[in-house]
Structures are given as structure tokens and as C-alpha cells.
A = this chain, B = another copy of it.
């Protein structure tokens, strides 16, 4: 294999990996109880502190949960979509903020992914999905909305589009891509005119989905992508400036 792991890494990391492998391989099923910390310490021939550090690593990955008291302990956790989604979002966000991603690259990925679920959304979106879309559109139309709130509603709108495809795996994968864009989108200042344009496009998109017209929805999404790209054009220069400032310090 690629990594030996036998002597260089932490004991706690090795123990955590050993347990997480067992979970991944299915040797430990959801809600199975792990041995107590004392037993694990004996089993791996390490101190209890080291075992605890390993368990904290697993807890940080939502692989286990712990309960106190007699008959408590560490239990294999059934990973929920929501947990996975949350972790995916933080990781995607980090990836985008720490790797000086170009706005156009991020934009391209995000719209490509959203486009992937448009046919399904058009085929399956129900009345509640449409209501959710319209609700966000109505919110975006309020003129007293802050830029940040407008942006949040934009994200909520697109998440609703994704969710209306009614495929939890798609929702999980795409929410990362959509929400991670928010910090970047937040840097944009939205004029009244650009807001009106976006609201109009959102309305068109909702209409197309209601008509179950996937082709039209696709075309509208393309327009939205072009427009977003245009709005974000200033960001590249802005980022370059920040980078220049930082390297000067």
C-alpha cells in the first residue's frame, strides 16, 4: 500500500484507523457498542488517554457517538445524510477558501452539477417543492434585504431545486458544491438591477420546472451561469489584490 503507518504516525491515529477500517468493512454495524476505553487500552496495549484520543478522532468524523454511565460507551453511529452534508459543506468551503480557487472554475463546477439534476427535478418536483421555490423568490424580491440575506436565499433556492430531484444522494453531493460557493458569492455586491434580473431568472426557472420543461430549465440555468460569471468578474481582480497585499506584508 501507499502508507506504511507502522511506525511514523501517532498511536492514536493508528488505533483510530484500525477501528474505522472495521467500521468501513462492515465488521462493526450501526449501533454496535465498542469495547470500553479500558478494554481497548488493554487490547491495543496503550494507555487510556491514547485510546481516548483515538475515539475523539472517530467522533470528529461522526463515526461513533459516546454515552456516559453504566452500559454506556462508544457506539458506531449511523451516519445520517445531515451529518454527512454538514461535513461535506465545511470541507468544500475550506477547500474553496484555502486554495485560491478561481471564481469561474467554482462557478462552472457548481452549475454543471446543478444542471445534472435538472431533468430529474423537472420530472419529479411536486407542489411543496414549487412552493419552496416561490417562497425563496418572494423573499429575494424584498428590497430591504441585505446582500448577505439575498445570497443566503439564493443558496436556499438552489438547494430547493436540487432537493426537488428527490434523490438524497444527489442532494448530499450537491449541497456541498452549492453552499460552499456562498462565501464567494457574498463578496459580490448586488445592485437593485442585478437582483431584479436574478429574481426574473429564478421565476423563469420555477415556471419551467412547473411545466416539466427540462430543456427550458437548462437554457435558463445557462443564462444564470453566464450572468453570475459576469457579476463575479470583479472578484478575480479583487483576489489578486489581496494576494499582492499579503505577500507584501
Contact = CB atoms under 8 A, between A and B. Distances in A.
Nearest to A172: B95
A202 interface: no
Contacts of A174: 173
A244 to B, nearest CB: 16
B97 A26 contact: yes
Contact of A78 (B63, B99, B106): B99
A91 B79 contact: yes
Nearest to A23: B94
Interface in A54-86: 54, 56-61, 63, 78-81, 84
A117 B167 CA distance: 19
B98 A56 contact: no
Nearest to A59: B57
A236 to B, nearest CB: 16
* Number of this chain's copies in the complex: 2
B90 A88 contact: no
A23 B84 CA distance: 20
Interface string A92-129: 11111111010001101110110111011000000000
A149 B80 CA distance: 30
A79 B95 CA distance: 6
Interface string A199-211: 0000000000000
Contacts of A117: 112
Contact of A79 (B16, B94, B113): B94
A12 B59 CA distance: 11
B30 A98 contact: yes
Given A57-B60, A61-B61, A99 B116 contact: no
B116 A112 contact: yes
A226 interface: no
A161 interface: no
A18 interface: no
B12 A169 contact: no
A53 interface: yes
Given A56-B12, A94-B79, A99-B81, A177 B173 contact: yes
Given A78-B98, A112-B170, 9 more contacts: A24-B93, A53-B53, A56-B56, A57-B57, A57-B60, A84-B91, A92-B173, A95-B169, A113-B170
